[in-house]
């Protein structure tokens, strides 16, 4: 089954008409995108794009064989023409199935916004899922990919190809992964691309980080054909200064994966309103399906070699109730849940408190050795872990030299910890002014 993408952009296209933003200004060449539309085996068209006949011709295709045109969403972009000779566009009711004369089968998939997703099966059993802009499957999704109530994704096993709005709805991809509808071999292609994400290298970097890719308008994909999916690193360290966007970058890297365990190392600080505000901001950003563990005992979480091992370190979310025990995925083997550790600097502060590292006499009498033992144990656990780990840490060595011996000690020890932890990671990022710079991977 061949799928030609006549357009890959949002309904208004990219660049948006008259928009002066940087993303639109730089959306040229292959990064310029018309409204998303699909041509399946030259016989089925999903959604319309401006000048569809010209778009098809530019891709080396023709619309003369199209027997069915289906729409997935209310259209709010430029006026779309229906070329002469094409059937009038229609929609399939949620849960209903349409059989085409050429052997394709189309099932309507209920989504959580106005619109309809489509599961398309080819004559050889290939399967693809297409979701409208800003949409995720409606309701819970069970193991065979069908949403509750029968209006969801049908068939068995993972899809060969999934086309969805990855930048706007990474949670939709997480839901499909949780259900088994998307696995490591599924080709995930981002469509409905808008100006919210900078085009070019940054767009492709963000997509690759969640196991997806983007292709130019006019590309033809062969459903079921092997395509090397982005190689996802098991361990990533995200460094950055204060308010640099390092936590946002770390969260973004796991937003498209299910059952993430967020490890908060900061704890609570009675009477500190600024800290409470920071905690609240972080909590509001996290997907509701994530579970939270508040702990500085990281080694058991990284080892997590048996079911329920992550429960050993359960605690309470800073400023809120614990969600680990009752959250989605509770009871699953601990090692299957990705970890987001935020952050190593606060973990180090806690450990230095415990070993008495702030007092010069205690430091020389055994505090230094005790701290090395704790950091070595953490680094060893990172090296040996089988879990996906994204850790956040502060980069503090480039600023003003601290005025106190304790401050200089913390700066030096955090630099050593970052270097040792980063040495065990496949990917190392430095975030500056919200932009992630790849130092490795």
Nearest to 175 by CA among 245, 109, 95: 109
Q: Are 286 and 280 in contact (CB under 8 A)?
A: no
Q: Are 166 and 174 in contact (CB under 8 A)?
A: no
Tell me the C-alpha distance between 369 and 372, whole Å.
5
Spatial strand order of the sheet with 37-40 comes to 68-70, 44-46, 37-40, 2-7, 220-222
Q: Is 282 designated active site?
A: yes
CA-only gyration radius of the chain, Å: 25
Tell me the C-alpha distance between 78 and 9, whole Å.
13
Q: Are 3 and 128 in contact (CB under 8 A)?
A: yes
Which two three-digit tokens encode residue 243? 């308010």
CA distances from 375 to 122, 280, 344, 415, 418 (A): 54, 29, 10, 12, 10
Tell me the C-alpha distance between 33 and 89, whole Å.
22
Q: Are 431 and 251 in contact (CB under 8 A)?
A: no
Q: Are 176 and 182 in contact (CB under 8 A)?
A: yes
Q: Which positions ≥6 away from 69 have C-beta within 8 Å?
A: 45, 46, 48, 82, 86, 87, 88, 89, 90
Nearest to 37 by CA among 62, 56, 58, 65: 56
Helix, strand, coil proportions of the chain in percent (round to 5)? 30, 20, 50
Tell me the C-alpha distance between 222 and 126, whole Å.
10
Q: Give 298's Cβ-side CA count (13 Å radius).
A: 32
Helices marked H in 290-367 — which ranges?
A: 298-303, 344-355, 360-362
Q: Which of 104, 282, 350, 386 is catalytic?
A: 282
Nearest to 421 by CA among 343, 349, 335: 343
Helix (H) or strand (E) holding 178: helix 170-179
Tell me the C-alpha distance between 342 and 219, whole Å.
40
Residues with a catalytic annotation lie at 282
């Amino acid at each position: 089954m061949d799928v030609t993408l006549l357009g890959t952009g949002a309904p208004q296209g990219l660049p948006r008409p008259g928009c002066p933003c940087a993303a639109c200004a730089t959306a040229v060449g292959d990064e310029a995108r018309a409204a998303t539309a699909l041509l399946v085996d030259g016989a089925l068209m999903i959604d319309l794009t401006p000048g569809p006949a010209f778009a098809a011709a530019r891709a080396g295709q023709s619309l003369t064989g199209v027997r069915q045109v289906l729409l997935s969403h209310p259209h709010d972009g430029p006026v779309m023409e229906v070329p002469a000779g094409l059937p009038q566009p229609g929609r399939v009711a949620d849960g209903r199935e349409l059989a085409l004369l050429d052997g394709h089968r189309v099932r309507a998939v209920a989504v959580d916004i106005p619109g309809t997703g489509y599961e398309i099966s080819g004559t050889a059993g290939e399967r693809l899922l297409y979701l409208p802009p800003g949409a995720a499957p409606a309701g819970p999704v069970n193991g065979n990919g069908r949403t509750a109530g029968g209006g969801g994704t049908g068939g068995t096993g993972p899809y060969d190809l999934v086309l969805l709005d990855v930048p706007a709805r990474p949670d939709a991809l997480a839901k499909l992964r949780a259900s088994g509808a998307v696995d490591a071999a599924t080709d995930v292609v981002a469509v409905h691309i808008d100006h919210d994400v900078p085009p070019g290298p940054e767009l492709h970097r963000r997509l690759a980080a969640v196991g997806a890719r983007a292709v130019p308008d006019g590309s033809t994909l062969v459903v079921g054909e092997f395509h090397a999916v982005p190689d996802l690193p098991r361990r990533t360290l995200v460094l950055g200064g204060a308010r640099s966007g390092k936590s946002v970058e770390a969260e973004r890297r796991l937003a498209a994966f299910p059952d993430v365990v967020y490890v908060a190392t900061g704890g609570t600080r009675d009477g500190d309103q600024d800290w409470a505000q920071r905690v609240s901001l972080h909590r509001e950003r996290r997907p509701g399906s994530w579970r939270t563990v508040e702990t500085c005992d990281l080694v058991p979480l990284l080892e997590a070699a048996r079911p329920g091992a992550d429960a050993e370190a359960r605690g309470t979310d800073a400023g809120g109730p614990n969600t680990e025990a009752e959250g989605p995925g509770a009871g699953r083997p601990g090692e299957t849940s990705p970890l987001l550790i935020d952050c190593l600097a606060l973990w180090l502060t806690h450990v230095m408190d415990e070993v008495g590292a702030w007092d010069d006499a205690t430091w020389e009498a055994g505090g230094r050795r005790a701290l090395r033992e704790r950091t070595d144990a953490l680094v060893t656990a990172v090296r040996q872990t089988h879990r996906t780990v994204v850790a956040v840490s502060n980069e503090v060595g480039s600023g003003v030299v601290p005025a106190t011996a304790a401050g200089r000690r913390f700066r030096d020890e955090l630099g050593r910890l970052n270097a040792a932890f980063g040495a065990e990671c496949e990917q190392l990022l430095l975030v500056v002014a919200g932009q992630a710079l790849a130092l490795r991977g």
